[in-house]
Amino acid sequence: MTSASLASSLVLPRWPHCGHGITADDPVGCRGIQVPGQSACLAHLPVDDRASYLAGLAPGADIDHRGTAFSEALLNELLDVLRDPGSGQPRIGSAEFSYALFTGPAGFGKAEFCTDAWFLGAVFESRAWFAETTFASRAMFSEAVFKGPVWFDGTSFNGRTFFARTTFAEEAWFAETTFRDLAWLDGMSFREDVLFDSAVFEAETQLGPLVTPQAVVLTRAVFATPVIIEAAAARVVCRQTRWASAATMRLRYATVDLEDAATESPLKISSRADAFVGHQRAGVVDESALAGRDPGVRIATLSGLDASHLVLTDVDLSSLPVRGDGASGPAPGGWLVHFRRCAPVARPPAAAQCAAHAGGGAPLAGPGRPLPRPGLDSFVGRYRSLEAAGASRAVSAAAQVLGGRQERAGGGRLLLRRVRDAPP
């Protein structure tokens, strides 16, 4: 629930609230929690009472300002009394800003949250800085709304971190951010790019569903443990991304860039047919920002990727440029390729499969089965030199992607070779 919906609600907050500005239309008034020993929230305290409260705080103090409206000046007043004399940066104990409203720029950059930090349902109407901030324990940003750009660059999340159903109206930066414990980023919605450039995920991670009509950037990100990435996005950029354990990417609408990515375990990328459903509070994720676009998934480049652990399912490679042996340009329109560690299978879309079966063509199931004849020669010619397209570590230049077995070749490369029972 946003502060706007809170403000129009007749439901009383779960804490003793300020009540300032009660009217016939709003019988609850201000939802800000009362300052200890006072009958008003920090925003509506008389000047002398506010000064007395702030004077009683010190670096590392616990604070609770749920539902409170903060101007830029008021927030700076609060953070100034919490600054550590050594570092000059705010040091905060337990922090409760759930359902707070930040009406101006919110500068938490380089702050240290020593215990739990709660921003559940908070609304940031302007820019928000959390760059180089340290969260020593749990960080809760679920259902928060960021209406301006937000920076989490260089931030350290050392406890369990939650961004469930969080909304970002402008760009969001998580560059060089470190997640050292559970990272639960579920149902996040963006209008612009979301950048996890050089982010490090050291523990269990649920990344998605994420929705953006722009790009999810994972360039140089590192995933140390198994991860599931789910995204409905125009682009998913994984340049020099490293997966140290098994990874699954379920995507919609996306063009994927895997240039120089590295994986030490199976990397499965598939196209999801139906809209995503969030993992908490089950419900279909809103993909209206991508309405009218092709929900299929396309691979833009495999350059520099060792495909020995790569599994692509229902993914279109037709935009990959190929050249050599007289072939140039993209693969024949509509062809899909499915690599498996022991069974690479090239196949046409479902409609073409049905046509092959109707014409008595051989089935496509399993390794070693022949491909249907329609378009086969053209397909082979286009994919004869994937290596020349830049996937030099992935596929032998002499490979003929006709389905069947694959073998390990020198230098850790993968050789795809035509099976003996394939049609001549």
Q: Is 142 exposed, middle or buried (0-12, 13-18, 19+ CB in 10 A)?
A: buried
Residue 280: pLDDT band (50, 70, 90) is low
Predicted pLDDT at 282: 53
pLDDT score of 376 more than 90: no
Residue pair 139/158 in contact (Cβ under 8 Å)? The answer is no
pLDDT digits (tens, 9 = 90+) for 398-409: 233 333 223 333
What pLDDT is attached to residue 350?
39
Task: Give me the residues paired with residue 216 across strands.
Answer: 194, 236
H runs (alpha helix) in 58-191: 72-80
The answer, yes or no, to whether residue 352 has pLDDT greater than 90, is no
Q: Give pTM, 2 decimals.
A: 0.76
pLDDT at 374 over 60: no
Ranking 15-29, 49-63, 369-383 by mean pLDDT, the lowest is 369-383
CB-CB contact of 320 with 344 (8 Å): no
Residue 29 confidence (pLDDT): 87
In tens, the pLDDT along 118-139 reads 999 999 999 999 999 999 999 9
Assess contact for 148 and 168: CB atoms under 8 A: no
Tokens at 393, concatenated: 């570590």
Residue type, 333: G
Q: Give the domain ranges of the chain.
A: 322-416
Q: What type of residue sits at position 319? A: S
Amino acid present at 374: P
Task: State the pLDDT confidence band at 114, using cuts at 50, 70 and 90.
Answer: very high
Higher pLDDT: 312 or 231? It is 231
121 within 8 A of 143, measured Cβ to Cβ: yes
pLDDT of residue 90: 95
Q: Which residues pair with 179 in a beta bridge?
A: 157, 201
Among candidates 127, 122, 182, 132, which has minimal Cα distance to 152?
A: 132
Task: Select the more confidently predicted residue: 420 or 161.
Answer: 161
Give me the count of residues in the chain: 424
pLDDT at position 281: 59
SS3 362: coil
- CA dist., res. 102 & res. 143, Å (int): 15
Greater confidence (341 vs 207) lies with: 207
**Tokens at residue 134, please?**
């340290």
pLDDT digits (tens, 9 = 90+) for 28-41: 889 999 999 999 99
